[in-house]
Amino acid sequence: MTDSKNDPADLSTIPVRVLIVDDDEGHAQAVADSLARINCDCKVAGSGELGAQLIHAESWDVVVTDLRMGEVDGLEILRLTKEELPDAEVIVLTGHGSIASAVTAMQHGAYTYLTKPLDIGELRSAVEKASARLRLIRRNAELRRSLDERFGFEGVIGNSPQMHSIVEILKNVAPTDSTVLIHGENGTGKELVAHALHQNSPRKNKPFVPLNISALPNSILESELFGHEAGSFTGAIGRRIGKFEHANGGTLFLDEVGEMPMDTQVKLLRVLEERKITRLGANDELPINVRLVAATNADLHKLVQDGKFREDLYYRINVVSIHLPPLRDRSGDIPLLMEHFLRDLSKRTGREVQGFSRAARKAFFAYQWPGNIRQLRNTIERMLVLDNDGVLDIDGLPPEIAVLVKDQLPDADDDIPSGADGLIGKSMTEVERYYIQRALDLTDGNREEAAKMLEIGERTLYRKIKEYELRK
């Protein structure tokens, strides 16, 4: 398990960096010695000029400055700190005769002021409170960064032309309120894309509310969407707000929208057109401000032709269409996904491994992944949980993948697979050419991954491709 003391998110264990600016160096050093006892890493500047240099040169959490100094006084130190280190807090020290200047400092962003002669306990308390506020700011920033990393465009993982095209669409659409329809097989990452749209929109600080239509009985779907009043139907004991109200100001993600019954489709269309909802059992309409992102694994156009989906609703939700390709059509993205999920799952489980074996990599490329990205992630989690030697190998693969590998893609110590029996009796040059071309095919021409699979350098691979005139 990961030790919390080494967790970068555990900010409470990191010393607070304090710069003390005071032309009375003896007094400044006494302050530094006192603050060091409460986990502060202190440095003393014996003049405003030196203090200014250190603010330019280093990062500080808290700056404690005397107000009255030479040419560079406490107000100038305050100004420089807020300019160079906007998150840092400034505590001003002043004599009783300079209270007015201290108030001025507070108006310009100082955290607080303390009067001389200094009460050390009071100073410690002020530094602890200032640093606690700073840690809260940093923790929130870290959480935001993690959220952006997970659901930002960089979270839509892929190096294939298809994924590059999708990211460009997302960048253009995210800042708008346009309704988006995401097509794709189960497990292709439709909710991830929807969340990326939300996280990169002006609505990012409002709720993202997902609802899977296929997971709900038709009898309660309208209540889930629009809410209900007490007594509106049997079992409706009290008032309940629906997903539209919950998502007000944010984004509502309706997954498997093709499963929605026709009568609910009518009501959804009305809500999208009028921007108002009515709870079940209520008379009053409620205005809502929600961006809708819908997703489906069905062919909605065919459902329209078959009379199972309203044509007007189809055109209403299909303003911007995004198609997520199945994993089998972008196998060149598999290495990126493997490494991403391995890092993520290792962090979550506290288990670290060296990586995937050569045979396991071959298996991942050979398999068709009918469950797409979700299945790939679950497979890696299974391998990680079952691992006992630090290398994720074929013994941790599900049977349907393991059988494929054992039959077709043995590891280096095994005999040539049956599919390559024709190579028996061929020259080593012909055998080498075959396996290099096979690796290129399995990786969709990705030379870096092909080189890893073949356990040769990328420059060597490039030379062999030219030598054998292979297709990339």
Q: Are residues 304 and 169 in the same domain?
A: yes
Point out the domain boundary residue: 111, 144, 177: 144
Point out the domain boundary residue: 280, 310, 325: 325
Q: Are residues 384 and 320 in the same domain?
A: no
Task: Check which CATH number belongs to the domain holding 374 and give it.
Answer: 1.10.8.60
Q: Rounded CA gap, 287 and 271, in Å?
A: 9
Q: Is the confidence at residue 300, as pLDDT, over 80?
A: yes
pLDDT of 309? 96
Domain that holds residue 28: 4-144
- Average pLDDT for the chain: 83
Q: Are residues 241 and 389 in the same domain?
A: no
Q: Are residues 294 and 159 in the same domain?
A: yes
The sign of the torsion formed by the CA atoms of 73, 79, 85, 89 equals: positive
**What are phi and psi for residue 365, nearest 5 degrees?**
-75, -30
Q: How confident is the model at residue 12 (pLDDT cuts 50, 70, 90)?
A: low
The pLDDT tens digits of the residues spanning 162-200 come to: 888 898 999 999 999 999 999 999 999 899 899 989 989
Task: Check which CATH number belongs to the domain holding 263 and give it.
Answer: 3.40.50.300
For residues 93 and 62, the answer to whether their CB atoms sit within 8 Å is no
Q: Are residues 168 and 235 in the same domain?
A: yes
Beta bridge mates, 41:
17
Q: Are residues 254 and 339 in the same domain?
A: no
Q: Are residues 369 and 229 in the same domain?
A: no
Tell whether 305 is covered by a domain: yes
* Amino acid of residue 257: V
Question: For the whole model, what pTM was predicted?
Answer: 0.58
Q: Are residues 354 and 377 in the same domain?
A: yes
Residue-by-residue DSSP string for 421-434? GGGTTS-HHHHHHH
- Residue of 55, 54, 64, 324 whose CA lies nearest to 183: 324
The pLDDT tens digits of the residues spanning 433-446 come to: 777 887 787 776 77
Q: Rounded CA gap, 243 and 221, in Å?
A: 10
Q: Rounded CA gap, 347 and 351, in Å?
A: 7
Share of the chain above pLDDT 70, in %: 86
Q: Is the confidence at residue 2, as pLDDT, over 50?
A: no
pLDDT of 57? 84
Tell whether 149 is covered by a domain: no
Query: Span 311-334, mean pLDDT?
Result: 92
pLDDT of 100? 76
Tell whether 403 is covered by a domain: yes
Tell whether 77 is covered by a domain: yes
Q: Which residue has the tokens 């420089």?
A: 80
- Name the more confident of 405 and 99: 99
The pLDDT tens digits of the residues spanning 51-88 come to: 999 998 888 889 999 988 888 999 999 999 988 888 78
Query: Span 373-391, mean pLDDT?
Result: 91
Q: Are residues 387 and 451 in the same domain?
A: yes
Task: Check which CATH number belongs to the domain holding 81 and give it.
Answer: 3.40.50.2300
Tell whether 235 is covered by a domain: yes
Residue 331's contacts (CB-CB under 8 Å, 6 or more residues apart) are 365, 442, 443, 444
Q: Is the confidence at residue 4, as pLDDT, over 80?
A: no
**Poorest-pLDDT segment among 17-21, 112-116, 140-144, 167-171:** 140-144
Q: Are residues 49 and 185 in the same domain?
A: no
Q: Are residues 135 and 8 in the same domain?
A: yes
- Give me 29's structure tokens: 């050093």
DSSP3 helix / strand / coil % (the chain, rounded to 5): 55, 15, 35
Q: Rounded CA gap, 257 and 261, in Å?
A: 9
Residue-by-residue DSSP string for 287-352? E---EEEEEESS-HHHHHHTTSS-HHHHHHH-SEEEEPPPGGG-GGGHHHHHHHHHHHHHHHHT--
For residues 245 and 271, the answer to whether their CB atoms sit within 8 Å is no
Domain total of the chain: 3
- Name the more confident of 29 and 463: 29
Q: Are residues 162 and 134 in the same domain?
A: no
Burial of 115 (0-12, 13-18, 19+ CB in 10 A): middle
Q: Is the confidence at residue 256, as pLDDT, over 90?
A: yes
Tell whether 10 is covered by a domain: yes
Point out the domain boundary residue: 122, 144, 166: 144
